[in-house]
Each structure stands twice: as C-alpha cells, then as structure tokens.
Structure 1
C-alpha cells in the first residue's frame, strides 16, 4: 500500500451563474422549479466526484429490485446503497481512492492521516457535511462505551492510542500512538458498524444524552431500555440488522400498512424512505437529491430512481423471483450453491446475462474446531491435532466436489488461494489424501478403540464418540456436504450430527462458546493481511477459538483465555505486521503466521471455491462483466452502483 498523498483531480468544468453545467433527474428538476429544492449546482459540492462510467452515459429512471434473504441480511442494503466511506477501493480492487474525502495524506511512519473533505458536500436533507460530523462520530459514538458497536478493526485495543482532531470545517486528522499501516485499507473495506460518514450530527444530537439531558427519559417513555438503545436504532449503528424496524429506524412499526422511515439523512445515492407490505413486502429507497457524484457529461447521479429490497424467507423464493425476471442485478445469495444449480435455466429463459463473480474465500467449507470449548472432556477431543488429521484423511473430497459443486474446485485446506501472493502450499495441501485406513489407525493410536453395539467408537467417558457440526440453514449445500462428511466419519466409527441453524444463531453460539465444530466464513483467501483472523484469533470471525479472541480484546474479560505460546507468537507477528508500511515485510510476517497455522491445523477444509455466476438483466447497463466477492471489497458497492442504469425498451 503506497503511503502517499492522493488528490482527486478537479472536474474540467464548472457551473456558471448564467447556466449550470450540471443536469439532474427530471423529478428533481420539477421539484427545483416548485422551489422544493435548490438548483442542482447549489446542491452539489464545489468538487463533486467525477465517475468514469463503465460503458456509457446513462439515462434516468427505473427501479432496481433485490432479494433480501432471511434474518440479518442488512449487509445487502449496505453493500448496495450504504458504502460511502472517506476512502474507497477502485472498481478493480487495485488501489485506494478518495471518496467522501477529496484527498488524504499520510506521514512517513503511518501514524498521522489527514483527510480533506469536499467543500459544499451535503447530507440528503441539504445540511452541509463537515469535519464536525466526523468528530461527532468519533467522540460521541465510537468512544462512548459500546454505543458504536464493536471497535472497528483499525482501532487500537481499548479504544485508546488514537485521537481525532478537527482543523477547520473540512480537515480531519487521525493521529495514532503507534504505526497503523492498515488503517486506510481497513477504512475502505466492509464495516459491520457505522463509520465516520454515517452520523449526521444535526439529526442525531437530540437522541444523545450528552446533548439532550432528557434523552434517557424520552427513550424510556417510548419503551426503550435506555437512550443508548434508542440511539443505536435511530442511527442504524449495526449494518447487518435487516428487520423492518432496523431498516426504518423505528421501534415496533405496524407492518400491516405503509410505514415511513425515520427521516435521518445520509450521504448515500439512495435513502431508505418506507416499507410497503405485500407478497413479498419491500423496503423502498429513493434518490438522494443532494448526492455528490456526477458522470463525465455532468449528470448528477444516481441514474436509477429507486431501489427496492424484497423481503424473502429463503433461497427457494429468490429462485422463483429470478425465474419470473423480478430481480435486478444481484450476486449476493444468487451465488449460493442451491441457486447456482438453476442459473443455466434462468439464463436460458432470457432476460438476464451472466455476471462472473470471483470468490476470495479460502475454502468452500472450512470446519473450525473449537479449541476453547468449556467442557474439559470435549476440549480434549477438539484440541487433538492428530484427531483432526484423521478426520481430514477420512473425507472423500472429490465425491463432495462432484455432487455438491458440480465437479468445480479442487481438494484444499483452509489457506490463501493459489492466486494470492500469500499462497502457502504446505497449509493448502496437507492432509488431503482420502485414506480411511490410515485415519482408522490414527484413531486407534489415540485410544479410541472401544466401540458400542452399532460400531461407534467410545470416548474416554464411555459415551459414544459424537461431534455436532453447525451449518447455515440459508445455505443448504453446506448441510448436504456435511451430511456426506458425516457418512465418511461414520466409516471411522465417529458419529457426526449435522445441525443447520440461522446465521444469527450460529454467530450467537460461537460468540458464547457453545459449539463443537462450526462452518466458518472461509475468509483469508486473497488477503491474509486484513483477513488474518482466518488464521490468528483476532476477531469474532475466528471461529476456532472464541475465548482466545476475548483475551485478545480484553485479557481481563470474563471467559477469556490466554492462547498457547504458538498462537502468542502469531499475535506478536501480526502486531509487527500492523506497524510496517512495507508490503514485502508484511508478506514475510504473513508467511510466518501461516507456517504456524499449518503446524496447528485448527480447521479442516474441503475444496477451493470455483468462480460463481451472478445475474444482470439484459437492460441493465454500466455493470462490470466481472466482480470479486469479498468483505474487504464489499461488492457491488466499489463499482459505484449509482452509475448503473436501466435502458429504455
């Protein structure tokens, strides 16, 4: 990552007093003529962000519909209309670009980051966005206990070691006590919780006790437990929540009729406006009249009038909507295996073209064995490396690839992909042979020789040797594959119970340390720096050891547990990595971290993830033909969906 000043070149045109260069959607022109809005050149910043469109200058109009599946799918709206950070990734995921900040500078040892905001940039209600909004987020949300959710990944432990200073109306300075070479890249990646550009001070101050002494009393009168709970709802702190109340920022809305959203302004291209009941119900986002990006012809974006998120329960319903041509451009959920099987029929039916989606996952089905299980007897089993090796050798990966993944992919452990600069052949290729005879011998050597009347091995307590595998209910291919794994393990005399759960329940079980084996996210396939948590217990996504993660967050926290020496060595290497702005030195530290991960072998993998296929309606324009899928690159947002448009018939 180059630590240098980046400045967005000013537009080669400027509005004049006689006539604005800029053009806008007809509905906005009509509102301006009725004096409901200022003229377009007064709504745009002095230096709007100029987008080079993917194919052609677009046309205004139309509705983009997407399927929002199950509970906790708020990341679909976030990744579609909610990604406007200070800096962002470019469409090719090669370099960082200014965004809300029109420029930034980094000092030589990556401790001071200075952002220049766009003068005249406005929230969706017309109020100027200034450095004070960033200060409000940092001082009054992020640093206010747990008000802002979990600390962001770039935040030093305990929220200490960083200060934010406002220098005038449009300058914000982040100063770290220690080098933070990953700060900008982390800002540009996906965010579980709201960030520096998501909290309009003028709209949210009245919900905050620091500015409104009656905030707690008012919240209690409305049925909230505290002013913090009300603030978190109205500010939409948690990006992943997708229940109607969270998206509308309202408590217990009446879902039998149209419900207007709480009017909290944003910087996004579309603003969530209302929820409409129906089959399916839909959450509707309308065009932001103050959106601050333009195309090369001076047209204010977005082109598309509104975006609708259809509330659907499962992949089966999404398939039905795709077959009927209801869904617009979508990759999320469409790339799930159950729908991938139907893609050829959907494309043959007409109305869609294929969108190639390159996965960044380290593995299709990474089985994370809980190294910190609270029960000593279960922990003794789960922490046995030889046991995990034996179970890995028992898996017939080729059969799973052929049946569940249509023959696409290769046997692989949880490791960076071959395309990644961090590829580790040792980590990726070890313990892949399908060798049930050796697996049985290893279990015998571990002392699991006694069996019950059905041929199942007995553990040290005399009970049947049994493991429970958690899968995602909304991803039925996981259950299908794990059922095949269970059959392979049955041949060893090991009983595996496959238990599908909702995504939220899975995360809750992992967070509370109440599980044995769980399918983790499979991150760390392309970038083992920002996604090192796939191999080191850094974040809650490190499914292999939640109690170690708690210790990393806070060594004094209840139920936290200091990791063993080998993992402590990984943590020390990662600390060095965070301090180094040199990509080559970072890569050497990653290599050492992965060597230790190979030694420990905490997770079992199945196969590489083959390219997937999303869908784009044939009348959709300016959508790339190829897109990478990653939380570090929260597609499709980095491709600027505000430039997408729907061609007229």
Structure 2
C-alpha cells in the first residue's frame, strides 16, 4: 500500500496545543506512580508518553499549571452511572474545543478530502493504559473483526451514509484511512460525541474473547466465568468502553476503572500512559483518583450540601442552589452557576406512536400539540422555579448557535388559553363539563398520564404548575414516576402517553453537527419511539412515520448525511428547525437555565462559568477535567 506523505496527512492541530518548542520531558511525573516505576512495573514518564503528545496549555485556557495528586469524590445514583467517567474524561480521536471546533486529540493529525475520505494519523509511541502499543491494528480489529463479523455489533449508522459501508485502508502502524463514495458529514461529529461509536478497541486484550483468535475450550471457560450465554455476549460484555465496569479493559481515557460491580464505591485511577501533557511537559491528568460513591438520587443533593462531594454537577439543579450556597459556609466548597445548553430545561413529549389509539390520534393532530403549548404559563413557571432567570422558549436551539432564529424560540410559547381552547374545540374535544374537564371523542375524560424517570424533584414541581395550566383548558393531568430503565421500556412499548424530560441535548449546534435529534432516528426519542425504531432498523422493525412533516424530516436527515457543503447543511438545518417550530413535536418550557456546579474550594482550573449539557459539551468534558487540580500540599505524594 502507498504510504501517506506528511502533506497528505496534515490536519488541524488542537486548540491550546503548541509543537514549536518541545516540553521538558525530563520532569519526574506523578508521584502516585513512583512505587510502580521503582518496582520495574512501568517505565519513567518520558517512556510512557507518545513521541508527540497533545500539549494542553493551561494558561491559554485561563488556568495555571497544576500540582499532582489527590482524590475527587462524586456521588452517583446507581452502578450504571460509572458511564459518566468516559464522558467527563473526554478522550476522543477527534473532539471539540471550547468553541466547538473539531480538533485532533488521540489522533495527532487528521485530513478530510471531498467530505468522504478521512485519513487519521495516530501518535507514534502512544500506549493503552496497560502499556500495550496503540496502533492501527486496534482500529482494524474493531472494523474487520467486530463490525463486519456478522454476529457482533455491526457498523454504526454514523458510518453508513446512504447505507454504504466504508472502505478501510491500513497504511501503516499509525496511519489509517476511511473512505466512502459519498460524503459523510456525520463521521467527525460522531467521534466527538459524548458516547462515540466504538471504532477503536484494544485488540491485544480483546482477541482472547474472540472466536477467530481463541480456542473453543478457553472461550467456553470465559463464558462460564462471566455468566453469559455465548462468546458473542462475552465479547460485548468485556469490551464495554462507555460503561467502564471491566477493570481489565485497557483504556485511552485519563482515568481507568479499578472496581468491578457490584460495589458502593467505584474507583478510577490515573492512566499511566495518557497522551496529554501540560505546557511544562508534565503528564496529565493532575488528579490521581476519582471516587464515585453510590447513593440514591433522592438524597444526593443533601449529601452534596453536607460536604460529601468534591465535584458534583449531576443530580443537582437550580432548585438546590440556595442550600448549596449555604454549604459554602460550612464546608470548603464553592458553587458556580453555569448555563444549560439543552434546547429546553424541561420539555413535554406527547407520544405520537403510543399504544392508546385515541391519544395517538389526538397527538398526531398539530392543533392539539399547539393547544397544549399555548396552555402553559411559562412566565409563572419561570418565576416559580427559576426566579425569572430563564428564557421562555420552544424546544429549539439557543442564541449561541449560529443556526438560531428568534422565531424558532417564540413559536407557540406565549400563554393564550383562549386560543388553546379554540384549537381543542376544533380537534374534537367536547366542551368542558360541570367538573371543568373536557372529554375525548370516545367519551372518556380528557386526562393525560405523564410519566417521569423519577430522578428530579424539579420535574414534579413543574408538573404541578403545568397540571394547573392544563386544567384551565379542560385537560386533567396525572403523573407517574418510575426508574429510568422501566420508564424507557414503557416508552418503547408504547405504554407511555406523555413524558417529561430535558429538551434537545444539543442546543448549540452548528450546521456541521448532525440534526439527528430533529428526526425519528433512535428508539429513545420520547415523542416518536416506534418511528425511531423503524429508522434505526432500516425499516425492519417499528412503523414508518405517517405524518408528512415527519416524513420530510427523515428525508432531510438523509440528505444531510450525504451533504457535500456547509451551505447545503445550513439549508437542511433551517428547514428542519422551522418544521419543528411550526409542528410543536415537543413542548418546550424555558431554556438557558442556570446549572449549579459544586466543587472543592481548592479545585483549580475549573471555569467560573460555562455551558453545561450532554452534547456537545459532554458535561464538563470540553473544559479539560484532566487539567483540574487540587491545591493541597498533602496531595503531592499521591
């Protein structure tokens, strides 16, 4: 095969990265690893780093070079929440910087030609957390031996534009090329996502669980030991990167898991071979360990206020802000207010594919969706829950997005019960009776059971207000709380008529980010899960959308997936956002909500303010938590 020239592989270099002057690699590195080095279990820092590490300029990011050591405690609501660590660590082949530009991270360089040919150059000398070399064999194995196997998880949708599977060429140990005959604008955004597609697996470790590389007797023994049914389930279980429950699975993240479930505390220790350094040449991360302590969602805010966390951003809301600020007087903690990047802090999702035939018909009528939106008094909700600090808005993009238009945010959000009543009359609801309630066309009371995952008191408080608003237009509202897994299963089964959740994950998109959230593309979209299943399965399961406007969204999504220019992508985004503004597929409330971020008072380099969300910020991921550090003298010895 032809070897790429440096000109061919030259890509964008990471923000905050300087390669003009070599960092001082003679520095000693983390004291936490001294015993292992002295015992001969691992080499000195200079031998653990890639030849060209990624340099994080802490000063350019508004911080200062830090000191090694210490532990950071976080509280989580369940064992499954260990998945927050790879989101927080945010080590990606290609990631976003703080301005949401694509930058190479694990990769040293990348090059894109014609929007369809992607050439990746790895960092020479980079190693997995167990010290084994990280090479293009790890990408080849993931593609050829896993995705293309037939019995293991297949090629993800983000790598199948127009249903085309890529051609993958291994050029050498550090260079690999993915190419399609059509453009694939979704590839890079998917790699920069909070949960990226698994195009990299530690081949040297995973081959022991693969039928092509392991004898059957040994595989059978592994199957019994791991309590799974067959080698395919074994391979899947042992390779989970986004849910790091296997302490033996090598990682490229800044912290590696050290605890197998079940447990009440999950320990993550520094990755000795992590590929980033600060401007002095000291290997990152600064913090030695993260301790994830399992509690219940209901008591986490109280425990945080009692000083049981050194960093907390999950399971606390603005409703807890006062008690958290009071905690500053009793404990060495600091609370900052960031802004949420979701399209809506809370949104209602009428399930247009629910099993209830009457509500399914009613929710597919745009007049009903508009009426329910107009019935909500967002000013009252904003004042009662957020002291007026939010902006009333549809579930749409924020002003920080280059795609934002004020008319998207204003669509059907002004409180107008008279117009809501007229729309409900037109849609076939009976007039309100003596009890103040309308009836459905089948004669039953017009009551909506709205379900939640039971993880937020804010949802309960909001639904009390919304229930009052709906009753003013003759609609009764009941609520039911359950656990997240049960809730998601009920949604997929069509048993949930309406639900409440956060709005668009990505409220600050650019045209180069996927508009997947705006079309039925997955089975976890609460307003149309059955249509999402249909898209996800390429028509093999679920049901195809019946509404023309939703069919158009699918057409536009497919057009974006093979678009060749930014102008095309901007036009597609604009039409999709306009359809959502007009059709009210989800009912937004307010956005730009304040989000408390609590951290130890001596945790440095954490910004005073920022955007907080799932995508594209990956919670705190784009703010480089590997360069947070504890300003304590007693941390330096690890």
User: What TM-score do the two structures reach when normalised by structure 1?
Assistant: 0.88
| Rounded Cα–Cα distance in structure 2 between residues aligned with 1:298 and 1:58 | 12
- Name the residue aligned to 1:57: 65
CA distance in 1, matches of 2:310, 2:528: 39
**Which whole-Å CA distance do the structure 1 matches of 2:503 and 2:10 have between them?**
32
Kindly provide the CA deviation profile for residues 142-175 of structure 1, in whole angstroms up to 9, marking residues without a partner as x. Answer: 33457448925454365x4312221111111111
Q: Cα deviations across residues 36-69 of structure 1 (Å, max 9, x unaligned)? A: 2222222221112211124222111110111112
Find the aligned partners of 1:592 and 1:266 in 2 and give their Cα distance.
41
**In structure 1, C-alpha distance between the alignment counterparts of 2:584 and 2:13, rounded to whole Å:** 44
Q: Does 1:438 align with 2:419?
A: yes
For each residue in 1:430-483, what CA deviation from the matched residue of structure 2 results, as whole angstroms up to 9, or x when unmatched? 222323233233323333226666343222222211211122311111121112
Q: Does 1:644 align with 2:637?
A: no
* Deviation of 1:179 (Å): 0.2
Partner of 2:239: 235
Task: Tell me how far apart the structure 1 counterparts of residues 311 and 180 of structure 2 sit (CA, whole Å).
Answer: 40
Q: What is the alpha-carbon distance in structure 2 between the residues aligned to residue 162 and residue 276 of structure 1?
A: 36
CA distance in 2, matches of 1:419, 1:13: 36
Equivalent residue, structure 1, for 2:192: 188
Q: Which residue of 2 aligns with 1:627?
A: 610
- Is 1:556 the equivalent of 2:562? no
Secondary structure of the corresponding residue to residue 570 of structure 2: helix
1:5 maps to 11
Q: Which position in structure 2 is the counterpart of 1:208?
A: 210
Partner Cα distance (2:524, 2:151) in 1:
19
Q: How many angstroms apart in 2 are the aligned matches of 1:362 and 1:409?
A: 12
Given that residues 179 and 580 in structure 1 are in contact (C-alpha distance below 8 angstroms), is that contact kept between their aligned partners in structure 2? yes
Q: How does 1:87-166 map onto structure 2 within 5 Å?
A: 87-90=94-97, 92-107=98-113, 109-145=114-150, 147-148=152-153, 151=156, 153-156=158-161, 160-166=164-170
Helix, strand or coil at the partner of 1:228: helix
Task: Decide whether the 8 Å contact of 1:116 with 1:171 is kept in 2.
Answer: yes
Contact 1:315–1:339 (Cα < 8 Å) also in 2: no
Does the 8 Å contact 2:162/2:558 carry over to 1? Answer: no
- 8 Å Cα contact 1:64-1:304 kept in structure 2: yes
Aligned partners of 2:137, 2:155: CA distance in 1, in Å?
Answer: 22
Match of 1:273 among 248, 251, 258: 258
In the superposition, relative to structure 1, how do residues 460 and 177 fare at CA in structure 2: closer, same or farther (>3 Å)? same
**Is contact 1:510–1:546 with CA below 8 Å preserved after alignment?**
yes
CA contact (8 A) 1:371 1:545 kept: yes
Counterpart of 1:327 (choices 281, 284, 309) is 309
Q: Residues 149, 283 of structure 1: CA spacing in aligned structure 2 closer, same or farther, 3 A cutoff?
A: farther
Q: What is the distance in 1 between the residues matched to 2:88 and 2:626?
A: 9
Query: In the alignment, what sits opposite 1:521?
Result: 502
- 1:604-636 CA-to-partner distances (Å, cap 9, x unmatched) read 111123232212222111222223223222132
Whether 1:509 and 2:516 are equivalent positions in the alignment is: no
Query: Do the aligned residues in 1 keep the contact of 2:68 with 2:629 (CA within 8 Å)?
Result: yes
Aligned to 2:82: 74
Cα deviation, 1:192-248, whole Å, max 9, x if unaligned, reads x66234x211111111222224266335433312222222221115x2x5xxxxx43
Aligned-partner Cα distance in 2 for 1:473–1:531: 29
Q: Distance in 2 between matches of 1:432 and 1:590?
A: 21
1:32 aligned onto 2:16: no
Deviations 1:499-550 (A, max 9, x none): 2222222322233333211224311421165352343222334322122222
CA–CA separation in structure 1 for the residues paired with 2:220 and 2:516: 41
The reply on whether 1:86 has 2:83 as its aligned counterpart is no
Change in 2 beyond 3 A, CA 1:40/1:441: closer
How far apart, in 2, do the equivalents of 1:563 and 1:138 lie? Answer: 36
| Counterparts of 2:601 and 2:64, CA distance in 1 | 15
Corresponding residue number in structure 1 for 2:368 = 387
Query: SS where residue 65 of structure 1 aligns?
Result: strand
| C-alpha separation in 2, matches of 1:358 and 1:450 | 42
2: distance between equivalents of 1:125 and 1:188? 24
Distance 2:619 2:71 in 1: 19
1:415–1:424 contact (8 Å) kept in structure 2: no
Residues of 2 paired with 1:354 and 1:632: CA distance? 23
CA shift for structure 1 position 266:
1.2
Identify the match of residue 276 of structure 2 among 273, 278, 293: 293
SS of alignment partner, residue 342 of structure 1:
helix
Q: What SS does structure 2 have at the residue aligned with 1:431?
A: coil
Between 461-470 and 624-633, the greater mean CA deviation after superposition: 624-633
Q: Provide the rounded CA distance (Å) in 2 between the counterparts of 1:546 and 1:459.
A: 24
SS at match of 1:477: helix
Change (3 A) 1:152 1:445: closer
Query: Contact 2:450–2:479 at 8 Å: present in 1 too?
Result: yes
Q: Residues 214-233 of structure 1: matches in 2 within 5 Å?
A: 214=216, 217-222=220-225, 223-233=227-237
Kept in 2, the 8 Å contact 1:472–1:479? The answer is: no
Distance 2:541 2:46 in 1: 56
Alignment of 1:553-592 (within 5 A): 553-592=536-575
Matched, 1:172 2:157: no
Question: Which blocks of at least 5 consecutive residues in structure 2 are unaligned?
Answer: 1-8, 634-638
In the alignment, structure 1 segments of 5+ residues that lack a partner are 242-246, 250-260
Aligned residues: CA RMSD: 2.6
Kept in 2, the 8 Å contact 1:72–1:503? The answer is no
Inter-CA distance 333–142: structure 2 relative to 1 (3 Å threshold) = farther
Structure-2 separation of matches of 1:124 and 1:4: 27
